[in-house]
Amino acid sequence: MRWVCTANRGFANLAMEELRRMFPEAAFQQLAAGEVFAADIPSERHEVLESISGKEPIFLRHIQPADRALPVAGNVDDLSALSDTIRYVGYTFDGKRTAVHVRRSEGTRFPYSVSDTKAVLDAVLAEIGGEPAMQEPEVILSVYAAAGELLVGWGTPREMLSDWPGGAVRFQREEGQISRAKFKLLEAERTFGLRLSAFREALDVGAAPGGWTSLLLERGLAVTAVDPAELHPSLTDHPKLTYLKKNAGDVRFERGTFDLLVCDMSWSPMLMVKLIMELRDALQPGATAVITVKLMHRKPLQTIRDVVDKLAGAFELRKAKQLFHNRDEITLYLTKRA
């Protein structure tokens, strides 16, 4: 079966490597250089989904089954054929909240825009008993317009790893927002199933200029922010903020002070690990940690293994993922061992 797979730009080769280790006989074809590729995997659909669900790849951001492949003629027949295909499998969407995701490769001959295609497919879904939905869909109908064919598939958000087209999670920038780094923590909250407002005391290591600190304060947490650089002036008078203008290696806290640690530092991975391990006693047993790991070396998979191994004595890894808002990094979700 063929699958349309998406990674962050420049990381498709690592997503392919992860899939190759899971499915040694898989074959790959680039659809959008460095970002989107087709994977032909000689396994049943349910077997592929079970394997990916059981050990989700770090760099695979989104996966779409190609249940149908329609040739592109470059004229009105393309949209007509696509509509007829959806009508033919209407039982799949009958009575279900269905989101339509349409993506186009740069070189496609498919002549219709994303918005026009979506409008037509929403109408078709309504016609066959589906319920077009923008949020919280039960099913996603995905269309990827490759150079010479439309790759059409459907599945649940869980199966596709995301309920956003291609896994590209979009947040609206707010007036006065301190930095785009806030989006990383917002996406981590969604991806890892966290509820930040459920925590009480947070330690933000390498906090400046304060993007993550600002979100934690908005969620109602008391935050201790540590960084020798300046926090944004809008934060410094917040009643629930303690700001330590110091290097993280120079601070110590009472045992079990915090139930959440976050760290988004542009340091080398091993230096970051050293700091986190030095601060581990400040965390309560079972405390959550959300940490970004910068992939500055030529062997990112080895770097990730080294970081996880070093942290394993104090933390249990819950999930490692390259989020859409990560750049040359990944995000770890961990809990402190008792």
d(CA 17, CA 301): 10
d(CA 42, CA 53): 17
The answer to whether the CB of 213 falls within 8 A of the CB of 238 is: no
User: Strands, DSSP E only, in the chain?
Assistant: 2-6, 27-32, 36-40, 62-65, 68-71, 97-104, 131-132, 139-145, 149-155, 201-205, 222-226, 241-244, 258-263, 283-294, 315-321, 329-336
d(CA 206, CA 287): 19
Q: Which of 184, 294, 321, 336 is catalytic?
A: 294
In 130-168, which positions are buried (b, 16+ CB within 10 angstroms) versus exposed (e)?
bbbbeeebebbbbbbbbeebbbbbbbeeebbbbbbbbbe
d(CA 247, CA 244): 9
**Degrees to nearest 5, angle at CA 76 with 72 and 78:** 30
Q: How many residues does the chain have?
A: 338
Residue 300, token pair as written in the block: 């990112």
Q: In the annotation, is 55 catalytic?
A: no
Q: Which residue is associated with the tokens 């150079």?
A: 147
CA distances from 50 to 20, 22, 42, 58, 158 (A): 16, 11, 14, 16, 11
Sign of the CA dihedral with 198 first, then 202, 206, and 209 last: positive
Q: Please give the full DSSP string across 164-204, using - where no structure is assigned.
A: SGGG----PPPTT---THHHHHHHHHHHTT--GGG--EEEE
Catalytically active residues are 294
